[in-house]
Amino acid sequence: MTDKILSHIDATLESRLDRLCDLIRIPSVSTDPAHKPDVARAAEWLAATLREMGAEASVRPTPGHPMVVGHLPGPADAPHVLFYGHYDVQPPDPLDLWETEPFEPVLRPVEGDTHIVARGASDDKGALMTFVEACRAYAEVAGGLPLRVSFLFEGEEESGSASLPGFLAGAAEELACDIVLVCDTDMWDRETPAVTTMLRGLVGQEITIRAADRDLHSGMFGNAAANALTVLTGLLASLRTQDGGVAVAGFYDDVRELAPETAAQWAALPFDEAGFLRDVGLSVPAGEADRSVLHQLWARPSCEIHGIWGGYTDPGFKTVIPCEAHAKLSFRLVAAQDPLTIRDAFQAHIRARLPEDCTVSFTDHGLAPAWAMAGENPFLAPTLAALADEWGRSTTCGTGGSIPIIGALKGALGVDALLVGFGRFDNRIHSPNEKFDLSSFHKGMRSWVRIIDRLGACRSS
Amino acid sequence: MTDKILSHIDATLESRLDRLCDLIRIPSVSTDPAHKPDVARAAEWLAATLREMGAEASVRPTPGHPMVVGHLPGPADAPHVLFYGHYDVQPPDPLDLWETEPFEPVLRPVEGDTHIVARGASDDKGALMTFVEACRAYAEVAGGLPLRVSFLFEGEEESGSASLPGFLAGAAEELACDIVLVCDTDMWDRETPAVTTMLRGLVGQEITIRAADRDLHSGMFGNAAANALTVLTGLLASLRTQDGGVAVAGFYDDVRELAPETAAQWAALPFDEAGFLRDVGLSVPAGEADRSVLHQLWARPSCEIHGIWGGYTDPGFKTVIPCEAHAKLSFRLVAAQDPLTIRDAFQAHIRARLPEDCTVSFTDHGLAPAWAMAGENPFLAPTLAALADEWGRSTTCGTGGSIPIIGALKGALGVDALLVGFGRFDNRIHSPNEKFDLSSFHKGMRSWVRIIDRLGACRSS
């Protein structure tokens, strides 16, 4: 039966790709209020797609963007999996660096593969559709699935998942399951699929500095009047240590050294530090000087500035002393770092260094703890085996990214998550010219069929 | 005769104000290429106005915005003065902070005066028109002027005066004169007109930092990849010392302590440090800790950041590691600081601290040395006397601003300049809701009539 389903996927790849492209064409940018109707349209599209597959599915309103919830029945003694994905995407800007329209997917043949180029092609529309289409193919051939599947699609992942905890609190009973499946991560390398067992957390912050009560002329006031941009740059620089670390007091208090076995596993992974950086035009790891790149990315917390603006930024020159300055930045967290504690330590660091004449205000943009999968989870081994069936190999790994839902789901539903991803490292997610490999989509669907088979065979003991 | 001219000005104030408003309505923003036709229109308006007054006048093209040159005849043995003004203005942004349209002058009655509210009302259209209208009134009543007057109006003062040195080199013979008159400075206080005898110089710089070859995702690369905004903020912060000074090596080498008599003069000026800062919502002088506010403003060099941009700055949040970051900043210079030396020291400071993986590029936005008037200039005393005739008092003072033309004129024509200004300190030049007091305009015209009289009486010895 498995072979028949896999052959069916091979034979119907084109129509499955068409459906993915339909979803990509909806510019569901959750962080931009102008795209609110598009986000709603993407939710409706997904609910209709699930219903087409025979699922019971609907769009559920939240205070922010809606959730899509669906259910497909299965044998009562088989595991009940909840698949999570997000249908919102990052803004496409800077637009002038795109070679094609961000929301009009283009198929670009490359040596040995084809790239699906578009915002969301990989993160997360392409990835979530590998699971949806695997279920569809399974049901088309076998008439039903060997396990119970629920779907939860979120529309705010790229903008902080503000509505998720409240929604989960109200839907915990409906979403009760044995394991959460998530497809929003990368493969280890082009040939090796991975189950990601560690995620970093996130504290997103926007900061505004105000100095004088108006913009001033630097000839009339230069030297004597506080300059909001000078203050902001000084404060942001004060967050960093000379050796690439973070200078906020207490920041590393709850960071733990890796378990020796994990460190050994990572050391055994074939990873070319120089090549990793060279691929994006760099050569020197920018984080803590005494840590390897993989440790910097997966096991060490970070502080990154995402945007700064203030003063005169148009062509030409204006000798203004700006009265306001703004920045967006975030901390990635690891291990037991508590998002609220880190946020408060950051804000205290800024307030303690703020010149007397300035005021500061902060806005939260998401707070999520780091996460690590329990090593003894019974679904891990069958998933790794199913992946190896399809690809000839598989591995576990960490990631430097954050998927805040994992912690929220664990808290609300009391179950762990299995993060299986088919993204490639060069997919340019969040950047111009994002792409998803057609082979990721194709073998991703095939992988999920095999995982569904293997997990369906796990009977409650 | 002088009284008749002054009375004529009093009786015709309204029509003189109308002409000023006509000039203000032309949005001659020199730094913004979109306003190039407006800048040209303002030049034509001025040339036509001079011709109306009986001057020989024309618009002269340059590689940038045009110059307006005009000549009014006078007695051969009387001094020949060259009046300099600029008809270009600063950009009006931030537009949302204007209470009225920036280029539609509004007359707002206030206690004891009327404000002319508009971009350029003070800097420099209102100021230059005090001289133009004084000459017009003089000629209307007396049939001619008691000295020879040439006019030079520039359209690039607010964007670096790039075309000026070349133009002066070609027009030095035509513009030969005994003294340059400039009206682009402030009064000492509301009741005391001033001749400004010291100006700061300016080095304007734009800096761009480039790191990776594309924007990156902070989950995938955060910690390990150089962040252009982090690098930029660190570099900008490194320009400042803890006590409010500038940390560039050699920056203070050519800064001299004030002559004791100048320091004594300044100490005698009634100046309320606390009130000066309180007026703009501040309380603590931000410059070198051991210097008074007047010294910080007039006699100490400064470093101000005018604008920063980079990364994601729209609503919401995007966890991007930006590959590019930009800033505009300037140094105000004093005494013998050489603009090229300071620029090169700044760029060397940045290059020495630039991380290996980053590149930097610089753009010049104006280079001008500081200037101080020779104390023995024979036109200073009659000008101070003429001002005292009109206002009951007058003084000399310094300023923190830069008027690059002064150095350029001195170099090209070999003469010094007399800086007479009727601006008030609260005119918000370069800021939203710029204004010019009607009394500045009215008594400014009257003052110039008296100065013309006094200077006309100076005969070549």
Q: What is the DSSP string of A422-460?
A: -B-TTS-TTSTT-EEEHHHHHHHHHHHHHHHHHHHT---
B107 backbone dihedrals φ, ψ, rounded to 5°: -95, 115
B67 DSSP β-pair partners: B60
pLDDT digits (tens, 9 = 90+) for B83-100: 999 999 999 988 999 999
Kind of pairing between the strands at B148-154 and B67-72: antiparallel
Residues A145 and A456: beta-carbon distance below 8 Å: yes
Q: Cβ A311–B306 below 8 Å, yes or no?
A: yes
Q: Cβ A318–B311 below 8 Å, yes or no?
A: no
Helices (H), B80-155: 125-142
B15: three-class secondary structure by DSSP = helix
A44 backbone dihedrals φ, ψ, rounded to 5°: -60, -40
Q: Cβ A218–B302 below 8 Å, yes or no?
A: yes
Closest-CA distance, B225 to chain A, in angstroms, reads 5
Of the candidates B439, B438, B419, B437, which has an alpha carbon nearest to the alpha carbon of residue B428? Answer: B437
CA angle A423, A427, A428 (to 5 degrees): 135
Structure tokens at B66: 């045009």
| Calpha distance A349→B230 (Å, rounded) | 17
**CB-CB neighbours of A97 under 10 Å:** 13
pLDDT of residue A201: 93
Q: Is it true that the peptide bond before B94 is cis, omega within 30 degrees of 0? A: yes
| Calpha distance A445→A14 (Å, rounded) | 13
Overall average pLDDT of the B298-317 stretch: 95
| Calpha distance B135→B183 (Å, rounded) | 14
Confidence of residue B268 (pLDDT cuts 50, 70, 90): confident
| Calpha distance B405→B199 (Å, rounded) | 11
Q: How far is CA A186 from CA A163, A165, A436, B61, in A?
A: 26, 25, 11, 61
Residues of chain A with C-beta less than 8 angstroms from the C-beta of B90: 318
- CATH 3.30.70.360 domain span(s) along chain B: 201-254+298-368
pTM of the model: 0.78
DSSP string, A246-263: B-STTTTTT--PPPHHHH
Indicate whether B254 pLDDT > 70. Answer: yes
Judging by beta carbons within 10 Å of its beta carbon (0-12, 13-18, 19+), is residue B377 exposed, middle or buried? middle
| Calpha distance B323→B212 (Å, rounded) | 5
Cβ-based neighbours of A15, under 8 Å, separated by 6 or more: none
Say which of A323, A356, A365 has its CB closest to residue B283: A356
pLDDT of residue B405: 82
Structure tokens at B461: 């010895």
| Calpha distance B277→A104 (Å, rounded) | 55
Encode A293-321: b = buried (16+ Cβ within 10 Å), e = exposed: bbbbbbbbbbbbbbbbbbbbbeebbbbbb
Say which of A213, A309, A327 has its CB closest to residue B281: A213
Mean pLDDT estimate for chain B: 94
Residue of B nearest to A230 (CA): B305
Quote the strand ranges of B287-426, DSSP E: 302-311, 320-321, 324-333, 359-368, 371-372, 395-398, 417-421
Q: Cβ A237–B240 below 8 Å, yes or no?
A: no
The enclosing H or E element of B194 equals strand B194-199
First to last CA, chain A: 25
pLDDT of residue A425: 83
Confidence of residue B105 (pLDDT cuts 50, 70, 90): very high
Overall average pLDDT of the B249-256 stretch: 96
Torsion of CA B370, B375, B376, B380, to 10 degrees: 90
The enclosing H or E element of B113 equals strand B113-117
Q: Cβ B237–A234 below 8 Å, yes or no?
A: yes
| Calpha distance A165→A168 (Å, rounded) | 5
| Calpha distance A137→A386 (Å, rounded) | 17
pLDDT digits (tens, 9 = 90+) for A179-196: 999 999 999 989 999 999
Residue of B nearest to A234 (CA): B237
Q: How far is CA A395 from CA A374, A383, A427, in A?
A: 16, 10, 20
Looking at 3.60.21.10, 3.40.630.10, 3.40.50.970, 3.10.20.30, the CATH number of the domain A2-199+370-456 comes to: 3.40.630.10
CA angle B81, B82, B86 (to 5 degrees): 145
| Calpha distance A314→B316 (Å, rounded) | 22
Structure tokens at A337: 């770092």
Say which of B97, B213, B330 has its CB closest to residue A280: B213
Measure CA B290 to chain center. Answer: 27
First to last CA, chain B: 25
Structure tokens at A33: 């209020």
Question: Per residue, what are the HEC states of B304-318?
Answer: EEEEEEEECCCCCCC
| Calpha distance A205→A342 (Å, rounded) | 11
| Calpha distance A85→A69 (Å, rounded) | 11
Q: Cβ A308–B311 below 8 Å, yes or no?
A: yes
Say which of B32, B316, B401 has its CB closest to residue A219: B401
Indicate whether B265 pLDDT > 80. Answer: no
Overall average pLDDT of the B216-234 stretch: 95
CATH class of this structure's domain A201-259+294-368: alpha beta
Percent of all residues in chain B with a pLDDT value above 90, rounded to a whole number? 84
Percent of all residues in chain B with a pLDDT value above 70, rounded to a whole number? 99
pLDDT digits (tens, 9 = 90+) for B51-73: 999 999 999 999 999 999 999 99
pLDDT of residue B460: 60
Torsion of CA B445, B450, B451, B452, to 10 degrees: 90
Q: Cβ B328–A313 below 8 Å, yes or no?
A: yes
| Calpha distance A307→A368 (Å, rounded) | 20
- CATH 3.40.630.10 domain span(s) along chain B: 2-199+370-456
Confidence of residue B101 (pLDDT cuts 50, 70, 90): very high
Say which of B287, B316, B325 has its CB closest to residue A32: B316
Overall average pLDDT of the B168-190 stretch: 94
Q: Cβ B321–A304 below 8 Å, yes or no?
A: yes
pLDDT of residue B418: 95
A424 backbone dihedrals φ, ψ, rounded to 5°: -105, 155
Closest-CA distance, B300 to chain A, in angstroms, reads 8
Mean pLDDT estimate for chain A: 94
pLDDT digits (tens, 9 = 90+) for B118-159: 999 999 999 999 999 999 999 999 999 999 999 999 999 998
B39 backbone dihedrals φ, ψ, rounded to 5°: -60, -45
Cβ-based neighbours of B458, under 8 Å, separated by 6 or more: B78, B79, B378, B379, B382
CATH T-level fold of B201-254+298-368: Alpha-Beta Plaits (3.30.70)
Q: Cβ B322–A315 below 8 Å, yes or no?
A: no
Candidates A304, A328, A397, partner chain B, best to mutate (most B CBs within 10 A): A304
Kind of pairing between the strands at B201-210 and B324-333: antiparallel
Say which of A307, A315, A399 has its CB closest to residue B31: A315
Q: How far is CA A65 from CA A68, A72, A156, B110, B144, in A?
A: 10, 24, 6, 51, 76
Indicate whether B461 pLDDT > 60. Answer: no
Q: Cβ A33–B238 below 8 Å, yes or no?
A: no
Q: Which residues of chain A have pLDDT under 50?
A: none
**CB-CB neighbours of B170 under 10 Å:** 12
Cβ-based neighbours of B89, under 8 Å, separated by 6 or more: B27, B28, B29, B30, B119, B120, B123, B124, B125, B158
Q: Which residue's structure tokens are 């001289």?
A: B131
Residues of chain A with C-beta less than 8 angstroms from the C-beta of B323: 281
A108 DSSP β-pair partners: A115
Say which of B237, B317, B355 has its CB closest to residue A366: B317
Quote the strand ranges of A125-185, DSSP E: 148-154, 179-182
Of the candidates A196, A195, A193, which has an alpha carbon nearest to the alpha carbon of residue A446? Answer: A193
pLDDT of residue A262: 80
Residue of A nearest to B429 (CA): A217
Say which of B186, B305, B325 has its CB closest to residue A230: B305
Q: Which residue's structure tokens are 């599209």?
A: A45
Size of interface A-B (CB pairs under 8 A): 361
pLDDT digits (tens, 9 = 90+) for B19-40: 999 999 999 999 999 999 999 9
Residue of B nearest to A244 (CA): B223
Residues of chain B with C-beta less than 8 angstroms from the C-beta of A432: 214-215
Candidates B220, B236, B331, partner chain A, best to mutate (most A CBs within 10 A): B220
Of the candidates A128, A138, A135, which has an alpha carbon nearest to the alpha carbon of residue A23? Answer: A128
Q: How far is CA A53 from CA A49, A139, A141, A374, B174, in A?
A: 7, 8, 12, 33, 87
pLDDT of residue A368: 87
Quote the strand ranges of A286-351, DSSP E: 302-311, 320-321, 324-333
Candidates B308, B405, B425, B429, partner chain A, best to mutate (most A CBs within 10 A): B308
